[in-house]
Chains A and B, each alone.
Chain A
Amino acid sequence: MSAFDKYLHAVIVRAMDEAQDDGSATIDAHHLLLSLAADEGSTAQQVLASAGLDRDTVREALDREFEHSLSVVGVSAATYDLPGPSRAAQQPKLGASARLALDRSFATARKKDLRSTHVLLGILQADIGTVPRALALAGIDQAELTDRVRQLLNGQDQDRDQA
């Protein structure tokens, strides 16, 4: 198992935990983003932090997106006061949006060159869906953030080529 394989495994395990907390049967792209933001010390986490995004601010942005999307059709989750259900016993499976994000990540580099920033780039490359909507509501310039990740990756490539 390479260092990246171990890193990716840890990312997915944390994302699975986030999905279970959400009561979601699938691990979605936004669960991967929460997982990256929570991974102290990784380059992806540092890039997110530099844009003001830690795990809790990502969570807040996602909650806002949820409320906002419901409000479009006149629904409020706040009026629903049943107690929270018990956690799912079954492990959530990788959903379509997370698969797409990972496929995009893997397409950006050779396998042995993959880093945490490639995973972040794969998530940020989505133009449509929960993640872009949540970032927009949080006032994040997604295009600018994506460019920053790309520049960082180019820098890493140059470092490697010189090494």
Chain B
Amino acid sequence: MSDGNNSPPPEPSERSEPSEPADALAAVVALRRLADQLEDSAVEQAMRSGWTWPQVSEALGVTRQAVHKKHAKRLIAAGVKLRRRGDERV
């Protein structure tokens, strides 16, 4: 019969581990926001340095239509010179 002393006490949870659903869910919200900001910034940087929509969409693993729909208006409004299909990279 076990007297209960054989099993170690549960390890205290790691500080970096979400302890409560509220923290974990809030982390999801914050990560989405960070990812959105990072995407806006990274796509803009790529297009400013001459990447094409097909290249950016392939890098992001989404369709060209999706990346165009999400970013084209913003980049045009920001005056970014966008490469057209058929422009050859030099």
Chain A residues with a Cβ under 8 A of chain B: 22-25, 65-66, 69-75, 77, 80, 82-90, 128, 130, 133
Which residues in A have their C-beta under 8 angstroms from that of B43? 85
Which residue in B16, B34, B77 is a CB contact (below 8 Å) of A86? B77
A70 to B31 CA separation, bound complex (whole angstroms) = 7
**What does the 1/0 interface line of B58-70 toward A look like (CB < 8 Å)?**
0000000000000
With contacts A72-B16, A82-B42, A83-B41 taken as known, whether A89 is within 8 angstroms of B73 at the C-beta atoms is yes
Main secondary structure of the interface of A (DSSP, over half): loop
Is the CB–CB distance between A69 and B30 below 8 Å?
yes
Which residues in B have their C-beta under 8 angstroms from that of A133? 22, 26
Is the CB–CB distance between B29 and A69 below 8 Å?
yes
Could you tell me the distance in whole angstroms from the C-beta of B59 to the nearest C-beta in chain A? 15
Given A65-B30, A73-B16, A88-B40, 16 further pairs, Cβ under 8 A: A23-B40, A69-B29, A72-B16, A73-B18, A73-B31, A75-B27, A82-B38, A83-B41, A85-B41, A86-B44, A86-B75, A86-B77, A87-B77, A87-B78, A88-B73, A89-B74
Is the CB–CB distance between B22 and A128 below 8 Å?
yes
B49: Cβ under 8 A from any A Cβ: no
